[in-house]
Amino acid sequence: MAKELKNLTKRSEDYSKWYNELVVKADLAEQSAVRGCMVIKPYGYAIWEKMQRYLDDMFKATDVRNAYFPLLIPKSFLSREAEHVEGFAKECAVVTHHRLMNAPDGSGVVVDPEARLEEELIIRPTSETIIWNTYRNWINSYRDLPILCNQWCNVLRWEMRTRMFLRTAEFLWQEGHTAHATSEEAEARAIQMLDVYADFAEKYLAVPVVKGVKSANERFAGAINTYTIEAMMQDGKALQSGTSHFLGQNFAKAFDVTFVNKENKPEYVWATSWGVSTRLMGALIMTHSDDNGLVLPPHIAPIQVVIIPIYKNADQLAAISAHVDPIINRLRELGISVKYDDAENRRPGFKFADYELKGIPVRLAIGARDIEEGTVEIMRRDTLEKHSAPLEGIAEYVATLLEEIQQGIYNKALRLRESMTRPVDTWEEFKTEIEKGGFLLAHWDGTTETEEKIKEETKATIRCIPFDGDTTPGTCIYTGKPSARRVIFARNY
């Protein structure tokens, strides 16, 4: 492992390669035998489980309830909403048969041609269609509204270029789907859930995000408005980390979902959908980690503290363990997850490197000498700084330190983003600055045509029209036409 660690590519050499290697070396995930699909390993999954738990609690606090809808969607459902089918038909896995049979030549199994489905089914790329087809039967009157459902599930989009966590064919996510009696209520819910995502990203993942609305070009297929949280990775590229869509009445019309309103008149139902996925793992990894491996914010780390005894013989270990036991108990009382690694088959140096690679926020090392002196050696993973602290009251000290680390990691990411976010006012400047990475605040004339030309020439896209920030009008950097306000351009994952 120590050798493995040395082999980690440096971020400055090849950021992309560093990321791919880190995902594997830190035991988070690996490629599977199926094109574009990954295996999420136990350590990676433990992080995802914590994300799920916190998000789920936050959803439920807003009265959302979980449900489960089918994996398979009749092909014809996709066609019902014109933009939706355009967005998803080109990348979906299609189930055409329901049986295999032994090959007549004994070479294994083949598809049984007799078992062809009458109508092909697609594996859900997202579930608006099957859910709105279901909601039709749940909604009659305004009294049945709102409906606030979420599901945690797998979805599949046949992407051509995949990268672990960032873009995989199959991925895990949650998708919320709400139904409302008024446009205002639906739009407010879309923004409410965006706020939940932003709070979660900042408080748990320590990933600062910009909240805003997407341009027409970047909208979800079938949405009226797509709200987004955008994070900045250490290489200055943007990562869209969560989206929340105001769907208007598009899906209600496609699936004929009406309700009788308070005035006793039939009306189409208003909708939102919103989702975050295992892509958040990518955001987490790329925002904080360094050339030594993963850096995990304490609030999301499955193991927050590791304690390593330094000993030469069984007596020393016993003496150390006797001192460590009450510390472990006290840490657990404080709600801190702690691992005591007294394994004899790995040397302390090896353990140090391994836990560094895995991003455990705080490491305590305790030797016979420390016991005598009543101290412990502490290393914080984010800064790699070591210092000594008294054993007395160490649990409370660590609890405070964890919060300090959480805040420190967030501040560091925020400072980087702020340092790499700047206004640009001319097309020449834009072309130069975009090469340096980061967020460019630029005027844009509001047309899809201009947006696409800028993308063609620079690979930069409009990440969002931010909720906050400068709203002074100006002129478009590309066309010189009037611009209502600056928007955020960046290259992105």
Among 10, 14, 17, 65, binds a copy of itself (CB under 8 A): 65
Binding flag, residue 140, a copy of itself (CB under 8 A) = no
Among 10, 14, 17, 101, binds a copy of itself (CB under 8 A): 101
Please give the single-letter amino acid code of residue 62: T
Among 8, 22, 47, 121, binds a copy of itself (CB under 8 A): 121
Radius of gyration of the chain from Cα atoms? 26
- 134 vs 304 by CB, closer to a copy of itself: 134
Please enumerate in sequence order all residues whose Cβ is within 8 A of that of 122, keeping only pairs 6 or more positions apart, or say none: 72, 73, 75, 78, 92, 93, 94, 95
Tokens of 220: 């979800």
**By CB under 8 A, what part of segment 328-347 binds a copy of itself?**
345
Tokens of 327: 């510390």
- 342 vs 403 by CB, closer to a copy of itself: 342
Task: Please give the Cα distance from 40 to 23 (Å, whole number).
Answer: 10
Binding flag, residue 158, a copy of itself (CB under 8 A) = yes
CA 127 to centroid of chain Cα atoms = 19
Binding flag, residue 161, a copy of itself (CB under 8 A) = no
User: How large is the angle between the packed helices 279-288 and 394-419, nearest 10 degrees?
Assistant: 90
Tokens of 87: 């967005």
CB 246, min distance to a copy of itself, A:
23
Binding flag, residue 143, a copy of itself (CB under 8 A) = yes
**By CB under 8 A, what part of segment 186-225 binds a copy of itself?**
none
- 125 vs 208 by CB, closer to a copy of itself: 125
x/- contact string, 23-62, with a copy of itself (CB under 8 A)?
Answer: -------x-xxx--xxxxxx--xx-xx-------------
The window from 10-18, 67-75, 310-318, 384-392 that contacts a copy of itself (CB under 8 A) reads 67-75
DSSP assignment string, 409-463: HHHHHHHHHHHTEEE--SHHHHHHHHTT-SEEEEE--S-HHHHHHHHHHH--EEE
Binding flag, residue 72, a copy of itself (CB under 8 A) = yes
Tokens of 82: 């014109």
CB 368, min distance to a copy of itself, A:
28
Binding flag, residue 260, a copy of itself (CB under 8 A) = no
CB 30, min distance to a copy of itself, A:
8
Task: Please give the Cα distance from 483 to 288 (Å, whole number).
Answer: 35
Q: Are 225 and 183 in contact (CB under 8 A)?
A: no
Find the angle CA(253)-CA(259)-CA(262) to the nearest 5 degrees: 135
Task: Please give the Cα distance from 63 to 148 (Å, whole number).
Answer: 7
- 74 vs 446 by CB, closer to a copy of itself: 74
- 346 vs 436 by CB, closer to a copy of itself: 346
Number of chain positions touching a copy of itself (CB under 8 A) = 64
First-to-last alpha carbon distance for the chain, in angstroms, is 30
The window from 107-115, 293-301, 431-439, 449-457 that contacts a copy of itself (CB under 8 A) reads 107-115
Can you give the binding site for a copy of itself, defined by CB under 8 A?
30, 32-34, 37-42, 45-46, 48-49, 65-79, 85, 89-102, 108-109, 111, 120-123, 130, 133-134, 137, 143, 149, 153-154, 156, 158, 170, 172, 345
